[in-house]
């Protein structure tokens, strides 16, 4: 999460958050990129930020997901924060050894390892299906 965005996220309604981040991402570094107001939080700090912001009462341990494609060179771990205000759960998929790619889909770009252990399209759809926004 960009550090400069955090101050703007303190007011308003609680919002469900889904994070999918590769540990070998050279575009948005997994371990963050501090830089005078223009940097990025680490993936762990982004998860912690949204867990606190959404007032989540329960945090899961870290679950290693099934290694569906052992030849892809990556593993996916899942951590969740639930029992949040207004059902605004937080889910974090850490793609270990994964680059700046779209899990489950080879895009033909050299941005590091792509995992095929999850399909990001399916993960995103399931997340939004479970957290619908009320019609205004």
Q: Is the pLDDT of residue 135 over 80?
A: no
Kind of pairing between the strands at 90-96 and 17-22: parallel
The verdict on residue 135 lying in a domain is: no
Give residue 136's pLDDT: 61
Which residue range is the domain that position 98 belongs to? 3-130
Q: Six-digit token pair at 21?
A: 């981040």
**Taking a C-beta distance cutoff of 8 angstroms, is the pair 23, 98 a contact?**
yes
Q: Is the pLDDT of residue 35 over 90?
A: no
The per-residue pLDDT for range 62-94, each reduced to its tens digit, is 999 999 999 999 999 999 999 999 899 999 999
What percent of the chain clears pLDDT 70, i.e. is strictly above it?
Answer: 97
SS3 state at 79: strand
Q: Is the pTM of this model over 0.85?
A: yes
Q: How many other C-beta atoms are found inside a 10 Å radius of the C-beta of residue 129?
A: 8
What percent of the chain clears pLDDT 90, i.e. is strictly above it?
Answer: 69
The verdict on residue 136 lying in a domain is: no
Give residue 37's pLDDT: 67
Count of structural domains within the chain: 1
């Amino acid at each position: 999460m960009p550090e400069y965005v955090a101050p703007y996220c303190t007011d308003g309604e609680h919002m469900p958050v889904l994070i999918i981040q590769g540990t070998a991402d050279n575009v948005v570094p997994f371990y963050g990129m501090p830089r005078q107001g223009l940097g990025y939080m680490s993936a762990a700090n982004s998860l912690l930020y949204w867990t606190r912001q959404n007032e989540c009462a329960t945090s899961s341990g870290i679950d290693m997901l099934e290694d569906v494609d052992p030849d892809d060179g990556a593993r996916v771990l899942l951590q969740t924060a639930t029992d949040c205000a207004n059902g605004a759960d937080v889910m974090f998929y850490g793609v270990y050894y994964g680059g700046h790619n779209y899990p489950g889909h080879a895009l033909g770009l050299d941005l590091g390892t792509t995992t095929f252990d999850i399909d990001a399209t399916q993960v995103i759809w399931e997340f939004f299906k479970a957290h619908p926004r009320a019609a205004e």
